[in-house]
Chain A
């Protein structure tokens, strides 16, 4: 029995839409199996995990809050990956954005005005951009793998944050806990109703803007061409190095913004850990959303459900909330496997086809 791949003449449009759906279905199936192995009723567990978070207003708000950083980072990464630029260091850019933005409430706690908030947003983006610029320039000048350099910088950023909150930026009135002073007033994202904050609005706006950019502008076209057919891109007069830097700056800014939004809302201060790995989960969001801004919006919600479901499952079912990460990993695997169907038809061959000689 052999698995044989046959190239399709065109992207299958049907499969482009179906593939993430199939992947989700397979993940649910795998989830049911895992729950059964843990001795739980699979259907009940799946309900608690994926449906329950949607049933109350409070959890819907939580969903929006959790989805916000995933969407912000994910949409930036989606553009990067479309251009075949691999920014794996979004988590580090998120961290640096949070640090830069926190400079204002920590160093200038008395400056309370909308302008302060605006500056925090700007600084958040700037921090992320600077941190993303490093791997970009190392790639274009020296050819160093952007995957490895951006990733190394994640660890560096996290260590830098650790030093700041234990050292110079530690709250003098915080009982020696490793955290900064809590942010007050205009140094926190304004909320609408309960917990949904400005960051979520920004996320939706940015998704719409980028959707237009990707689908309707020359720059979006450049991204597609350079990622798809680099030689044709050169023939069209587009520059690959310019694209690498642009993609990194954009995704860095968005990751930095997400970092700022996290510390200026949910957490409300700077701590040694400010993100449960959003920068990495956003990679899954980008792929699940088929590298399309609107798709990323939907995928962000789906993955936010998996975070919430994990917490809910811990409370109701008594299983570890770490199972959320396992689900996310399995989901990405299935997404990548199902993506094969878009470009290839899969057949199982029983008889050994006569091996054609080279040069056929």
Chain B
């Protein structure tokens, strides 16, 4: 395997969890709900996915458990913010803290245990093509899921009635309500979808990326995913682009380290976080780019006028 091929492969695996989590958050935010609990949902997905796979031996069940864990936490968030109109920022933080704490507790039993790795796809004939064979046809299934999901989210949001409703609810919930659309129900669905994606992203980390469980193994990826949505101006295709860019930045750090140049490893590890800040500054500072796509009702509570 050539060096470039290896680099590309690792970029893909680094980008996939970011992509999955960011797509989920994008849908949630498009409907007007800011869910800062992505990190919590992701880490719960990681621990539950690992645990289920470890106990049953099936990475597929692990992935399903990860999705379930993410959705469970998302449901908690939805009840608080949509039904009890609690502050979305505070509740999202609570979700993250709860998720991190709960995952630490559950994960104690699994620290140091060998992981059940999600196998890679292998298509006879195609996978063996030199160089592009493994990149295009030899990934683990979740990579393909993440790419398919990107296309699906883009299609549903912009070409179906459901997507139109979601965008309308996020743009002006009072107008949507007066036109007869169910604002709260739509938001519940979008938040749960976001939770499923975040959970799956976490599951990917513990099932494919580094098949083991380490406490707090998400290391802030959930937060980067949220920043990614802003950076991509709430467009699915740009989210994919951003995820791969961030994946590249992360991997770049590893490879520079491996090359033995005298840059401290900690600095290289901090690159993704610094780049995130820079990206946010660039995007937020330009009103032109954000103007159209920022959901106007993002973070605002909705109580129907009676």
Which residues of A come within 8 Å of B, CB atoms? 3, 5, 7, 81, 86, 88, 138, 141-145, 147-149, 151-156, 159-160, 162-163, 166-167, 280-281, 283-284, 287, 320, 322-330, 332-333, 336-337, 339-340, 344, 353, 356, 358-360
Whole-angstrom CA separation of A166 from B267 in the bound complex: 13
Nearest CB of B to A287, in Å:
6
Q: Which residues of B contact A145 (CB under 8 A)?
A: 227, 230, 280, 284
Q: Which residues of A contact B104 (CB under 8 A)?
A: 322, 325
Q: Is B150 interfacial (CB 8 A cutoff)?
A: no
New A-B contacts (5) at CB < 8 Å, excluding given A332-B97, A339-B86: A332-B94, A333-B80, A336-B94, A340-B86, A360-B305
Interface 9-mer from B20-28, B153-161, B269-277: B269-277
Of B36, B226, B269, B303, the residue contacting A7 (CB under 8 A) is B303
Binary interface encoding of chain B residues 99-116 relative to chain A, with 1 for a CB under 8 A from any of its CBs, else 0: 111101100100000000
Determine whether the beta carbon of A328 is less than 8 Å from that of B277: no
**Which of A5, A159, A284 is the most central at the interface, judged by chain B CB atoms within 10 Å of its CB?**
A159
Whole-angstrom CA separation of A55 from B280 in the bound complex: 50
Determine whether the beta carbon of A284 is less than 8 Å from that of B97: yes
Determine whether the beta carbon of B227 is less than 8 Å from that of A322: no
Which residues of B come within 8 Å of A, CB atoms? 36, 76, 80, 83-87, 89-91, 93-94, 97-102, 104-105, 108, 177-180, 219-220, 223-224, 226-227, 230, 264-267, 269-270, 273-274, 276-277, 280-281, 284-285, 303, 305-306
Q: Which residues of A contact B86 (CB under 8 A)?
A: 336-337, 339-340
Which residue in chain B gives the minimum CB-CB distance to A284? B97
Determine whether the beta carbon of B94 is less than 8 Å from that of A329: yes
- A328 and B93 in contact (CB under 8 A), knowing A320-B105, A320-B108? no
Which residue in chain A gives the minimum CB-CB distance to B264? A163
Whole-angstrom CA separation of A144 from B286 in the bound complex: 10
Determine whether the beta carbon of B285 is less than 8 Å from that of A144: yes
Can you list 7 residue pairs at the A/B interface with Cβ under 8 Å? A141-B285, A144-B280, A144-B285, A159-B266, A332-B90, A336-B80, A337-B80
What are the 6 closest A-B residue pairs judged by CB atoms, nearest first? A325-B101, A329-B98, A358-B178, A163-B266, A142-B285, A332-B94
Q: Which residues of A contact B105 (CB under 8 A)?
A: 320, 322-323, 325-326
Determine whether the beta carbon of A337 is less than 8 Å from that of B270: no
Determine whether the beta carbon of A328 is less than 8 Å from that of B266: no
Determine whether the beta carbon of B97 is less than 8 Å from that of A283: yes
Whole-angstrom CA separation of A320 from B101 in the bound complex: 11
Determine whether the beta carbon of A160 is less than 8 Å from that of B83: no
Determine whether the beta carbon of B227 is less than 8 Å from that of A163: no
Which residue in chain B gives the minimum CB-CB distance to A283? B93
- A152 and B274 in contact (CB under 8 A), knowing A167-B264, A325-B104? yes
Whole-angstrom CA separation of A167 from B276 in the bound complex: 26
Q: Which residues of A contact B285 (CB under 8 A)?
A: 141-144
Of B84, B223, B305, the residue contacting A151 (CB under 8 A) is B223
Determine whether the beta carbon of A149 is less than 8 Å from that of B280: yes
Nearest CB of B to A186, in Å:
30
Nearest CB of A to B180, in Å:
8
Whole-angstrom CA separation of A156 from B76 in the bound complex: 31
- A5 and B223 in contact (CB under 8 A), knowing A147-B36, A330-B98? no
**Which of B84, B89, B99, B227 is the most central at the interface, judged by chain A CB atoms within 10 Å of its CB?**
B84
Q: Which residues of A contact B100 (CB under 8 A)?
A: 325, 329
Nearest CB of A to B79, in Å:
8
Determine whether the beta carbon of B87 is less than 8 Å from that of A336: yes
Q: Which residues of B contact A3 (CB under 8 A)?
A: 83-84
- A163 and B267 in contact (CB under 8 A), knowing A148-B230, A332-B98? yes
Q: Which residues of B contact A344 (CB under 8 A)?
A: 85
Q: Which residues of A contact B276 (CB under 8 A)?
A: 148, 152
Whole-angstrom CA separation of A280 from B277 in the bound complex: 20
- A86 and B89 in contact (CB under 8 A), knowing A5-B303, A333-B94? yes
**Which of B80, B99, B270 is the most central at the interface, judged by chain A CB atoms within 10 Å of its CB?**
B270
Determine whether the beta carbon of A153 is less than 8 Å from that of B102: no
- A144 and B108 in contact (CB under 8 A), knowing A7-B303, A88-B93, A280-B97? no
Nearest CB of A to B140, in Å:
27
**Which of A81, A86, A151 is the most central at the interface, judged by chain B CB atoms within 10 Å of its CB?**
A151
Q: Which residues of A contact B266 (CB under 8 A)?
A: 159-160, 162-163, 166
Which residue in chain B gives the minimum CB-CB distance to A149? B277
- A356 and B84 in contact (CB under 8 A), knowing A152-B277, A329-B94? no
